[in-house]
Structure 1
Amino acid sequence: MNILFDLNHPVDVNFFKNAMLQLQEEGHHIFIIFRGRGKLEKIVRYELAMFPIEKIGEHKKGFTKKVMAQLHRDYAIIPFIKKNKIDLVACFGPTSVFSTRFCGIPYLAFDDDFEYKIPFYHANWFATRHIFPDFIEFSNSKTYKFHGFKELAYLHPNYLQTSKQVLEEHGIQPNKYVFIREIAGVSLNYKDSTSILSKIVEAVKKKGLEVVLSLEDKDVKEKFSDDCIVLEEPVSDIYSLMYHALFAISSGDTVARETSLLGVPTLYTGGREMVVNKALVDLSVLDESTELTFILDWISQQESNKKEKMQREVLHTIENEWDNTTSVILKHINDFT
C-alpha cells in the first residue's frame, strides 16, 4: 500500500515517525510531503531521511494569504498523489484534504485543537475519519476518539529513551537548568500572545539555574545568547533535555504538554484555553497563566523533590490509563489496508 504523510509542523514528524517505521517494516511504501515553514524542512530531512520526501507549498502569514497558499498547495498535491499512486493520506489536520477528496482516496485527519475552529471543522467536514482525544466532547459519524494525547505517539515509554549525554554536550547537569520554549506570533492561533520572556529568564537566573531556550523566532536569538543556551534545530535528543530540566515554561501548547507528559512541572504561558490540557492541569503537572506576578511566584516555588514525585505519578498514569497513540495511528491506517 502506498501511504502519504503530509507534515506541516515540526511535531508532526515525531507524531507519525514510529508509525511510519512500523508500516515500512510491514511492507508498505511511505511517502512524505511537507509545507515549507521555519526549520521544518531541516527537521524532516534529518529525522526521516529513510523515506522519499518532497516539499510542496509554503507557510504564509495572515488569514487571506494562508487560505490562498493552502488552496494553491492542495492543487499542487493532486499530481503528486496520481503520479505515486497513493492509496491513503494521513495528516495532523486538514491541509491536504481537498486534494485527497478530489482523488477519491481515504484521508485520516488526526487532531487535538478543538478551539481552533476553522481547521477543526474543515477536517471534520472533508476527512474520511477525524481522530482526536476523548477530552474533546464534539462527536459525529466521522469522529473516532482515543484516551490520551498526540504527544504519546513519541513520548510513550514504549518508544522514548532518555540519556544524559546531550546534557554533557551543552555543559549542564540534571535539575540545574530550566527548559523554556517561546513561540513566535506567526500562527493565527498565537497572534494575541504577548512575550514576557526577558523577565522570565531574569527570574530563572536569579534562582541560580541555567536556561535552555528554544526559540521559534530566531531573530531574537542575539538578545538572549549571552544569558541562555539557545538551541539550534534540529536538536539532538531534545526530549532528554526536557526530561532532565528542573521545570519548564512554554508559550507553545505542544511543548507544554510534552514536558508535562515527561513529568516535568510545567507552566504554560500561551494564553489559550484548551480542553486537551485539562487532564494535565488536574494531575497538577501543568499550570497555566499569562500574569507576570503568578509566573514569577511559580518559578520561585519549584524544587527538585516536587519533580521527582511528579515524574512517578505521570509515568504511572501513562502506563495504566492513557493510550499509546502510535498504536492508535496504526489501527486506523490498518483498517484500510
Structure 2
Amino acid sequence: MKAVVTIQHPAHVHFYRHVIDELETRGHEVFVFARENDLAVPLLNAFGIPHEVLTGPQDSLSELAKVQLAYELRLLRRVRKIGPDVMTAIGGVAVSHVAPLVGARSVVFVDNEGTTSHRITTPFAHVVATPRNYDEDYGANHVRYDGFHELAYLHPDYFEPDPDALVAHGVDPDATYFVLRFRRWDALHDVGEGGLSLEGKRRLVSMLEEYGDVYITSTDPLPSDLEAYQLPVAPTLIHDLLYFADCYAGDSATMATESALLGTPTVRIQSFAARETDMTNFVELEETYDLLRSTPDEEEGLELVREIVEDPETRTRWRARRERLFEDKIDVAAYVTELLCEQGGAAVRTVEQRAVSAD
C-alpha cells in the first residue's frame, strides 16, 4: 500500500508520527508532504521523518487562498507520480480535493466544529473521522472513535515524560514553573476570533513570576520585553515540559488539549470559548473530566490561573482525573493505522477490479 500524509501544523506531526512508524513497519510506503510552518517542518526534521515542503506559510489571512491553491496544485502533481492508495490529513482540504483525482481514498480527521473550511472538505472526503462526542454529523462517510486527536501521541503507550532531558536544558522538573502559549490568528477558521491581548500576556507573565519561572512558546512575534521568557527546550520536548509544569495558560486550543491530557492544570483563554456551546472536545475535558478551564474573558482567565497556582493540591487532583480519562479512551494511533490500512486496501481492490473488468 502507498499512503500520502500531509502536514500543516506541529500537532499534525505528532498525530501521524507513530502511525507512520507502524505503517512502515508493516511494509507500506509512506510519503509525507508539508506546508512550511514555524514548528511543523523543524519537528519533521527532528523526528527524522522524510518529507517534501510544497509551499511556504501565508503572511496574512488575505494570502491564505493563494497559498492553499498553490499547495493543492503542487500536491496533485506530486501524487500523480506516486499513485497512492490512500491520502490522509487533519482538516484535509487539499487531500479531499486531490485524492479523487488520482484514484486514492481520502481519510480526513476533524475535531473542531463550526469551521468554514469543512464545507469544502467533508463533502469530498471518502471518510471523515471525529471523536465520539463530536457535535456535527457528516453523513454516511462519518466515523467516530472514543478518543482525542492528541491521544495519538500522548497516550501512555507512546509518551513517557523525560525529566533528565529537561535538566539537560536547564529546567528543573521539580521546580515551580509555568508554560504559556500565544498564537497567531491567521488561519481560515480564525476570522473574527482572537485570544489574549498584548497587555493580557504581560499581566499573565507578571502574575506568574510571583510564584515561579515562566516559559513562553509563541507563533505570534513577542515584544522585546517578553523575549527572555522563550522556551529553553527544543520543540520535541514541549510535552515533557508541559507534563511537569504547575500550570498551562494561553490562547492555543491544541496546546490546551495537550496540557489537559497530560494532567497539567490548564486554562484556555480565547474567543471560541464564548459560544453558547463550545467545541465538544473542550466541553468533555471540562465537564466530564474536570481537566480544563475555558473562558473568552481575559480578566476571568487571569483569575482562574491565579486560583490554580495558589492551590497546592491542584496538580494531585488533575493527575487523578487524567487516569480516569485513560480508562475511557482508546489507543488513537492504533485506530488511525487500522483505518488507513482498511481504506488503502479498499483502493487497491478497486484498482484490481478495474483491471479484471478491462480484461
Same fold (TM over 0.5): yes
Using structure 1 for the length normalisation, give the TM-score. 0.92
The percent of aligned pairs where both chains have the same amino acid is 18
Shift of 1:63: 4.7
Which residue pairs with 2:292 in the alignment? 286
Distance in 2 (CA, whole Å) between partners of 1:234 and 1:120 is 33
CA shift digits 1:243-262 (9 cap, x unpaired)? 00011102010000000001
Aligned in 2, Cα 1:304/1:21: closer, same or farther, shift over 3 Å?
farther
Which residue pairs with 1:325 in the alignment? 332
Aligned in 2, Cα 1:54/1:125: closer, same or farther, shift over 3 Å?
same
Which residue pairs with 1:10 in the alignment? 10
Which residue pairs with 2:75 in the alignment? 77
CA shift digits 1:94-140 (9 cap, x unpaired)? 23221222112101101101121x22232211111000112213221
Q: Is the 8 A contact 1:32 1:52 kept in 2?
A: yes
Distance in 1 (CA, whole Å) between partners of 2:10 and 2:240 is 17
Shift of 1:58: 2.7
Residues 17-36 of structure 1 aligned to structure 2 (within 5 Å): 17-36=17-36
Using structure 2 for the length normalisation, give the TM-score. 0.86
Q: Is the 8 A contact 1:89 1:107 kept in 2?
A: yes
SS at structure 2 position matched to 1:14: helix
What 5-or-longer segments of structure 2 have no aligned partner? 274-278, 346-359
Shift of 1:326: 0.6
Q: Which has the larger radius of gyration?
A: 2
Residues 157-176 of structure 1 aligned to structure 2 (within 5 Å): 157-168=156-167, 169-174=169-174, 176=176
Structure with greater proportional helix content: 2
Distance in 1 (CA, whole Å) between partners of 2:233 and 2:51 is 19
Shift of 1:232: 6.7
When the two chains are superposed, the root-mean-square deviation of aligned CA atoms in Å is 1.9
CA shift digits 1:152-188 (9 cap, x unpaired)? 0000011001021233223334350011111122224
What 5-or-longer segments of structure 1 have no aligned partner? none
Q: Are residue 202 (structure 1) and residue 206 (structure 2) matched?
A: yes
CA shift digits 1:260-282 (9 cap, x unpaired)? 00111100012213222111111
Residues 126-205 of structure 1 aligned to structure 2 (within 5 Å): 126-139=124-137, 140-168=139-167, 169-174=169-174, 176-191=176-191, 192-193=193-194, 194-195=196-197, 196-205=200-209
CA shift digits 1:59-82 (9 cap, x unpaired)? 324555322321222121122112
Aligned in 2, Cα 1:172/1:222: closer, same or farther, shift over 3 Å?
farther
Structure 1 counterpart of 2:218, from 215, 218, 223: 215
Which residue pairs with 1:57 in the alignment? 55
SS at structure 2 position matched to 1:272: helix
Return the letter of the residue paired with 2:57: H
Return the letter of the residue paired with 1:189: H
Which residue pairs with 2:66 in the alignment? 68
Which residue pairs with 1:252 in the alignment? 252
Distance in 2 (CA, whole Å) between partners of 1:329 and 1:112 is 14
